[in-house]
Amino acid sequence: AQKITQTQPGMFVQEKEAVTLDCTYDTSDPSYGLFWYKQPSSGEMIFLIYQGSYDQQNATEGRYSLNFQKARKSANLVISASQLGDSAMYFCAMRADMNTGFQKLVFGTGTRLLVSP
Amino acid sequence: EADIYQTPRYLVIGTGKKITLECSQTMGHDKMYWYQQDPGMELHLIHYSYGVNSTEKGDLSSESTVSRIRTEHFPLTLESARPSHTSQYLCASSELYPGAEAFFGQGTRLTVV
């Protein structure tokens, strides 16, 4: 079975500073993918970044980067130069069993990020 | 820009009523999902489908049912709504390849009174 753990219920950061949101995962499958989503108060889920288990380099997308440490089974999201609009819930998710017919997308409990001026 | 739509956006309904939450996507995705999410909490997978005429139950037991008669349409039905069904329901779709991101609809906030 696969499991995602996000241990930070809430995080605070000042505008323009960087922040790291933690995510650890557990799976016995060697092939898996890790995703981060942002959920503003309006409720929609916005895809931010993806890292495959066989990707050699850490993924980056604009101000978002993923600090992937395979041996530690962690996939932390780093947001650089925080903006007020970054205030939202952030979810880490994993899709395992990549070589089977269907791969379920399993989510962690989320981290609420608050960016202050 | 994701092309996945959920209706209604908000629904308040009485106990015992039958309801159907609609979800449609125009991206031709084979995989579709329904998640249930209480405010500020994690998403729980309740149903998924990997194509027409295929539906499976997810990790969280749900009294709802789904159907997949057309690729683009994945409705969720509650035969008899109860206050315990009050939650947000999120529909998502993705392509088949393993690294494909899931695109989400805006969700339906259901309140059963």
Picking from B58, B88, B99, the nearest residue to A43 by CB comes out as: B88
Picking from A33, A46, A110, the nearest residue to B99 by CB comes out as: A33
pLDDT mean across residues, chain B: 92
Q: Do B33 and A105 touch (CB under 8 A)?
A: yes
- Which DSSP letter does residue A86 get? G
Nearest CA in chain A to B6: A44
Residue A31 CA to residue B64 CA, distance in Å, equals 31
Q: Do B98 and A109 touch (CB under 8 A)?
A: no
pLDDT band (50, 70, 90) for residue B71: very high
Query: Any chain A CB within 8 A of the CB of B59?
Result: yes
Contacts of A92 (CB under 8 A, 6+ apart): A4, A6, A21, A23, A25, A34, A35, A36, A75, A77, A107, A108
Distance from CA of A54 to the nearest CA of B (A): 11
Mutation target for B interface from A103, A106, A109, A112: give the one with most B CBs within 10 A: A103
Q: Do B48 and A50 touch (CB under 8 A)?
A: no
User: Per-residue pLDDT tens for B43-57?
Assistant: 999 999 989 999 998
State the average pLDDT over residues B60-82: 94
With pLDDT > 70 as the criterion, what percentage of chain B qualifies?
97
Taking Cα atoms as reference points, which of B84, B77, B76 lies closest to residue B33? B76
Q: Left, alpha or beta for A112 (phi > 0: left; psi -120 to 50: alpha)?
A: beta
User: Per-residue pLDDT tens for B9-50?
Assistant: 999 999 999 999 999 999 999 999 999 999 888 899 999 998
